Amino acid sequence: MDALPQIKPSMMARFKDSHFWHSFKRDRVAQFCFGIFSLALLLAIFAPLIAPFDPYDSAQIDIMNSELPPSWEAEGDAQFWLGTDAQGRDLWSTILYGTRVSLTIGICAVMLQAFLGIIIGLAAGYIGGRVDSLLMRIADVQLSFSTMMVAIIVLAVFQAAFGTELYQQLAMVMLILVIGIAEWPQYARTIRASVLAEKEKEYVDAARVMGFGTARIMFRHILPNTLSPILVISTVQIANAIIAEASLSFLGLGMPVSQPSLGSLISSGFEYIFSGAWWITVIPGLVLVALVLVMNLLGDWLRDVLNPKLYKG
Amino acid sequence: MSQPASLLKINNLHKRFSISGDFLDQLSFKGGKITRTQEHVHAINGISLDVKKGEALCVVGESGCGKSTVARTVMNLLRPSEGEIHYAGKRIDNLSHRALLPYRKQMQMIFQNPYASLNPRMTINQALHEPVKFHNPKWSHGQVLDKVHEVMEAVGVDPSWGVRFPHEFSGGQRQRISIARALAVEPEFIVADEPISALDVSIQAQVLNLLMDAQAERDLTYLFITHDLSVVEHFGTRVAVMYLGTLCELADTKELFSNPRHPYTKALLSAIPKLSDDREPPIKLTGEVPTPVNLPSGCVFHGRCPYANERCTQEIPQLKPDGTTMVACHGIDEGRL
């Protein structure tokens, strides 16, 4: 037995040597997008530390400061560099908190989608037969209702049945549930497709010959091999969930004005846009567009990197 | 000399695969009536076979003759459509997943493609630890580790390589690792489904020797699926020749190579390239292998057999002893050949 030098590459070393890292180093767009996304994530996480004001604290809000333009405009106040909204809240602080709310809803809703979609997709793909037909027909039915329609009906009925007060308390949970449940078929279908490809491979037969149970094979052997498509759709789905939340908020079915997300901020500024207070709508709008755009670009890049057919030729 | 007891017994095994899709696809409109038609690929058509303890039974045949289906049915990866499989005297083909577990420890399988048979996301250590731990839940971590090291050394893979992933190994090394995985649960019977056909010729001999060493050391019994006749000559105790899902001939290796009986076996053996120039020209079979969807009546080989007569097109030949050989051929039965 010839003794090769024993190498025990660390996770970091493995990562630095991977195709993933090399392609990231080459791709300016990916670097830029990742930078912006990380910045947004950091700002959102540390919003309470960064924001000069607390937009949830009504004691800090002075109605006399309402609709002040950004500080670079003639009537601007140096205290509020992006201006204030109609209620006198500092727009910069509100955007930070709003990004936090939007990202939380986006990420949690996608986690819920992924949880449902992974379990259903794995079961449909691996067990096959009638289970597969049943689950995929349910997915088809779910997909034939547009997400917005389901969300609007559920949220409107909830608001009407339990009152606006309770709704405002539970708005975030409700949005996560509705967006999460409405979009699981995206995951289920993608995962089912890759499970169908994976389960024909001999390592699955080897696991079956070992006598491993169905759940063990599904979650420990097949699932890790379907992670790349999951990662790709997750980035796109977070962006979609943020958009869905913003649209619902814009329609008045999303986050309450007291805890605005980017969408409800845009919506609240909309009434004032013709009275000249463009910044309440435009600035959060730009933040939203930037956030969604970088996530979609990152998703595109991920898909290119993780699709072995594109680079192994 | 006493006959060793048979470890595995296959009784009149049939396996059909439906190719007509689900219920709605099977309906068709013919002559003003809705009719339901089902088509099947007849992969195995009534095979009876027994594997004796300690032997290496090689199953040979051309592509698509059902060799691998036999292996997969024996391992319960596929349920037989008809027939029975007995292991050590107990029927195993109708057992539930749980009832099969003790047999999973005794019967293992080595797969054809070493590039697909190891999970790409698991390190070698993970891939080997999992089965040992699964089948010996009471073992301590140290015991599991010892066992894994033992099998890795037995197949010639340095245990310190265990931290690596399968893609960091060559094909030969991966096949050694899959052999190690099969050996890790201490089986007594191993089904090897063309374990060396995906390997480079120089590596084939190494892996074959490894399998033979393992057989000597661990008292293993093999059901060895292959299409390589030189491997059979080197490795097999007995040989079963398959054609279109049926067994043509079952004989001791030496006997089969020196005195093939069945016309198909004769044609198969004469096709082995040899260096000597003075041998008879190879037997050329005419025609194609018939489709396993619509099997020919009678002997499946009759369409290509130069000796076929009326009876061969009507009656399916049964496997009958001829000397020490078992052969399914009316010609031999009648003494024509």
Residue B221 counted as domain residue: yes
pTM of the predicted model as reported, rounded to 2 decimal places: 0.81
- B→A contacts (Cβ < 8 Å), by residue, are 22, 72, 75, 77, 97, 100-101, 104-105, 107-109, 111-113, 116-122, 130-131, 134-135, 156, 158, 160-161, 163, 178, 181, 185
For chain B, the 3-state helix, strand and coil shares in percent, each to the nearest 5, are 35, 25, 40
What pLDDT score was predicted for residue B211?
A: 92
B91 and B35 inside one domain: yes
At residue A8, the pLDDT reads: 55
Provide mean pLDDT across the span A264-284: 82
Question: Are B268 and B228 in contact, with CB atoms under 8 Å apart?
Answer: no
Average of per-residue pLDDT across B124-146: 91
Number of independent structural domains in chain B: 2
- The answer on pLDDT for A112 being more than 90 is yes
Contacts of B235 (CB under 8 A, 6+ apart): B56, B58, B208, B211, B212, B224
Residue B172 belongs to a domain with what CATH number?
A: 3.40.50.300
Q: Do A206 and B109 touch (CB under 8 A)?
A: yes
Interface contact A202, partner B, CB < 8 A? yes
Parent domain of A60 = 49-312
- CA atoms of A127 and A158, how far apart (whole Å): 37
The whole-number pLDDT of residue A9 equals 58
Q: Is A311's pLDDT higher than 70?
A: no
**CA nearest A207 in B: which residue?**
B131
The pLDDT of residue B1 is 41
Residue A14: inside a domain: no
Tell me whether residue A231 is in a domain. Answer: yes
Helix axis angle, A184-198 relative to A129-144, nearest 10°?
150
How far apart CA A143 and CA A204 sit, in angstroms, is 31
Q: For residue A15, which phi and psi values (nearest 5 degrees)?
A: -65, -40
- Please name every residue paired with B251 in a beta bridge, in sequence order, or none if there are none: B239
Tokens at residue B41, please?
Answer: 């690929």
Q: B229 to chain A nearest CA, in Å? A: 24
E strands, B19-121, where? Answer: 27-30, 33-36, 40-52, 56-60, 82-87, 90-91, 107-110
- Tokens for B231, please give them: 């491997």
Among A4, A205, A224, beta carbon nearest to B121: A224
Model pLDDT, residue A7:
52
For residues B117-137, give the mean pLDDT.
90
Are B160 and B14 within one domain? Answer: yes
For residues B77 and B191, what is the distance between their CA atoms, to the nearest angstrom?
Answer: 12
Rounded Cα–Cα distance for residues B240 and A287 (Å): 72
Task: Please give the single-letter amino acid code of residue B34.
Answer: I
Whether residue B1 is contained in a domain is answered as no
User: What is the band of A313 on the pLDDT scale with cuts at 50, 70, 90?
Assistant: very low
**B194 and B281 co-located in one domain:** no
Question: B38 in a domain, yes or no?
Answer: yes
Q: Which residues of B touch A206 (CB under 8 A)?
A: 109, 111, 117-118, 178, 181
Instruction: Measure the CA–CA gap between B289 and B267, rounded to whole angstroms.
Output: 14
Shortest Cα–Cα distance, A148 to chain B (Å): 34
What pLDDT does A1 receive?
A: 41
Q: Which residue of A210, A216, A225, A306 to mutate against B (max B Cβ within 10 Å)?
A: A210
pLDDT at A137 over 90: yes
**pLDDT, tens digit (0-9, with 9 covering 90-100), for A26-51:** 888 889 999 999 998 898 888 888 87
Q: Is the pLDDT of residue A192 over 90?
A: yes
B129 and B26, same domain (yes or no): yes
The pLDDT, as a whole number, for residue A232 is 84
Q: Are A57 and A106 in contact (CB under 8 A)?
A: no
If asked whether residues B250 and B232 sit together in one domain, one would say no
Query: A208: which chain B residues are within 8 Å (Cβ-Cβ)?
Result: 77
- The pairing of strands B221-225 and B27-30 is unpaired
In a domain, A40, yes or no: no
Query: Do B205 and B57 share a domain, yes or no?
Result: yes
Question: Do residues A183 and A114 touch, judged by C-beta distance below 8 A?
Answer: no
Lowest mean pLDDT, pick from A135-144, A244-253, B126-135: A244-253
Which residue, B236, B257, B284, sits at the end of a domain?
B236
Give yes or no for residue B58 having a pLDDT over 90. yes
In a domain, B241, yes or no: no
DSSP state of A61: -
CB B333 within 8 Å of CB B315: no
Q: Is A277 helix (H, G, I), strand (E, B) or coil?
A: coil
The domain total for chain A is 1
Please name every residue paired with B40 in a beta bridge, in sequence order, or none if there are none.
B18
pLDDT reading at A173 higher than 60 = yes
User: Are B232 and B257 in a shared domain?
Assistant: no
Average pLDDT for B218-233: 90
Instruction: Put residue B79 in one of left, alpha, beta given phi > 0 → left and psi -120 to 50 → alpha.
Output: beta
Per cent of chain B over pLDDT 70 is: 99
C-alpha triplet A162, A168, A174: angle, nearest 5°: 75
Average pLDDT over residues B129-134: 92
Nearest CA in chain A to B100: A211
Q: Between the CA of residue A235 and those of A26, A148, A248, A289, what are the distances in Å?
A: 20, 20, 20, 15
Which of B209, B236, B263 is the endpoint of a domain?
Answer: B236
- A59 belongs to a structural domain: yes
- The ipTM, to two decimals, is 0.87
> Could you say which of B201, B236, B271 is where a domain stops?
B236
- Asked if residue B274 and residue B188 are part of one domain, the reply reads no
Domain that holds residue B189: 6-236
Residue B309 has pLDDT above 70, yes or no: yes
Partners of B192 in beta bridges: B110, B224
Cross-chain residue pair A203–B119, CB shorter than 8 Å: yes
Query: Are B72 and B137 found together in one domain?
Result: yes
- Does the distance separating the beta carbons of A210 and B112 come in below 8 Å? no
| Partner residue facing B160 (CB), from A6, A205, A213 | A6
For residue A1, what are the CA distances in angstroms to A77, B137, B159, B166?
77, 32, 11, 19
Q: Is A129 on the interface with B (CB under 8 A)?
A: no
With cut-offs at 50, 70 and 90, classify the pLDDT of residue A55. confident
Sequence length of chain B is 337
**Is B52 among the domain residues?**
yes
CATH number at residue A230: 1.10.3720.10
Q: Is the pLDDT of residue B321 over 90?
A: no
Asked if B308 and B258 sit in the same domain, the reply is yes
List the one residue out of B220, B198, B225 whose CA is nearest residue B44: B225
Nearest to B181 among A3, A8, A206 (CB): A206
User: Is A205–B111 a contact, with Cβ atoms under 8 angstroms apart?
Assistant: yes
Nearest to A221 among B101, B105, B119 (CB): B119
How high is the pLDDT of residue A279?
A: 82
Residue A4 — pLDDT band, cuts 50, 70, 90? Answer: very low
Distance from CA of A226 to the nearest CA of B (A): 10
What was the pLDDT predicted at A228? 83
Which of A52-66, A247-261, B131-145 shows the lowest per-residue confidence on average (mean pLDDT)? A52-66
Average pLDDT over residues B133-156: 91
Q: Is A26 within a domain?
A: no
Q: Which pLDDT band, with edges at 50, 70 and 90, does A139 fall under?
A: very high
Are B209 and B272 in the same domain?
no
Round to the nearest angstrom and report the end-to-end CA distance of chain B: 31
A61 inside domain:
yes
B111 pLDDT band, cuts 50/70/90, is very high
Q: Does B100 contact A224 at a Cβ distance shorter than 8 Å?
A: no
As to burial, measured by CB atoms within 10 angstroms (0-12 exposed, 13-18 middle, 19+ buried), residue B30 is: exposed
pLDDT band of residue B151 (cuts 50, 70, 90) is very high
Whether residues B201 and B278 share a domain: the answer is no
Q: Does residue B11 register a pLDDT over 60?
A: yes
Of A182-196, B27-41, B203-217, which gets the smallest average pLDDT?
A: B27-41
pLDDT at A188 over 70: yes
The answer to whether the beta carbons of residues B148 and B162 sit under 8 Å apart is yes
Taking residues B3-23, what's their average pLDDT?
A: 84
* B260-306 confidence digits (pLDDT tens): 989 999 888 888 877 777 777 778 888 888 888 888 888 888 888 88
